[in-house]
Amino acid sequence: MTQLASSNILPLNEIFESIQGEGSFTGAPSIFVRLQGCPVGCAWCDTKHSWYLNAEDKSTFDIVVAKGGDGDSWCEVGIDHLVSHLLTYQARHIVLTGGEPCLYDLVELTSKLIANGFSCQIETSGTFDIKVDPKCHVTVSPKIAMKGGYKILDSALIRANEIKHPVAMQRHIDELDALLARLTPEQLASKKVYLQPISQQNRATKLAIATCIERNWWLSIQTHKYLDIQ
Ligand code: SF4
């Protein structure tokens, strides 16, 4: 593992422009900014290449931005440089993802993005303090009892604009019920709750649809995976 040079430097794994495939912003042209580093340890994680800040994988901004896809390489980038670069894309919605982006203080980055006319969304496991601009849309996708041993924080559940829970079996819905029970009715009323079937499994999708209808929750399907786009 390596240390970052300073607090206004972030570790970047990749940037790509696509359509947001999940949750409230489904269909929005978006720039995805994947930060490097995640200790949460989900067994089914499809971005394991973003877990470690290994010194031997450290590269340059130009190479990381040009790589166009998954890969272990990452680089350090200054916040002002990152914002200037993002302004060269067409989309005006930013999705900060990971890895686990909440390993880092993102107040300065999200505030500068919003000041430059972007809408901003962060996707987090809810296991670290969320440090973002108050106008940043927060998606908490709770990762419960994973190998890293991190707990879902009350502060993350309270801050969430949407809670998007991965589901494959009834146990996952029971876990979500236990999480939501930690919120007051007022806190809960201000959020959208989504069930998202894991890996497009048919059984998981049927369970999610039935439960959403029963509970008045929303269904999030990973439309980008059905469309076979990044
Ligand atoms: S929190 Fe996200 S990036 Fe980290 S292991 Fe889980 S799915 Fe992967």
CA-nearest residue for atom 2, ligand 1, is 99
**Predicted local confidence at residue 114, as pLDDT:** 98
CA-nearest residue for atom 7, ligand 1, is 45
Cα of 51 vs centre of ligand 1, distance in Å, is 8
Q: Which CATH code is given to the segment(s) 9-227?
A: 3.20.20.70
pLDDT in tens, 133-159: 999 999 999 988 889 999 999 999 999
**Predicted local confidence at residue 3, as pLDDT:** 63
State residue 84 phi and psi, 5-degree precision.
-60, -40
pLDDT in tens, 85-126: 999 999 999 999 999 999 999 999 999 999 999 999 999 999
CA-nearest residue for atom 3, ligand 1, is 99
Alpha helices in the chain (DSSP H): 61-66, 79-86, 107-115, 154-159, 170-180, 185-189, 202-215, 223-227
Residue extents of the structural domains in the chain? 9-227
* pLDDT above 90: residue 25: yes
Atom index in ligand 1 nearest the CA of residue 127 equals: 1
* pLDDT above 90: residue 26: yes
Cα of 177 vs centre of ligand 1, distance in Å, is 21
Mean pLDDT for the stretch of residues 1-6: 62
Cα of 130 vs centre of ligand 1, distance in Å, is 16
Atom index in ligand 1 nearest the CA of residue 98 equals: 3
**Predicted local confidence at residue 113, as pLDDT:** 98
Atom index in ligand 1 nearest the CA of residue 146 equals: 6
Q: Which tokens in the block code for residue 9? A: 């430097």
Mean pLDDT for the stretch of residues 214-223: 92
User: Given strand 93-97, what is the order of strands in its sheet?
Assistant: 75-78, 9-19, 29-35, 93-97, 119-124, 137-140, 162-167, 192-197, 218-219
Degrees to nearest 5, angle at CA 117 with 13 and 138: 55
Q: Is 143 in the pocket of ligand 1 (CB under 6 A)?
A: yes
**Predicted local confidence at residue 48, as pLDDT:** 94
* pLDDT above 90: residue 69: no
**Predicted local confidence at residue 201, as pLDDT:** 83
**Predicted local confidence at residue 71, as pLDDT:** 84
Mean pLDDT for the stretch of residues 161-170: 94
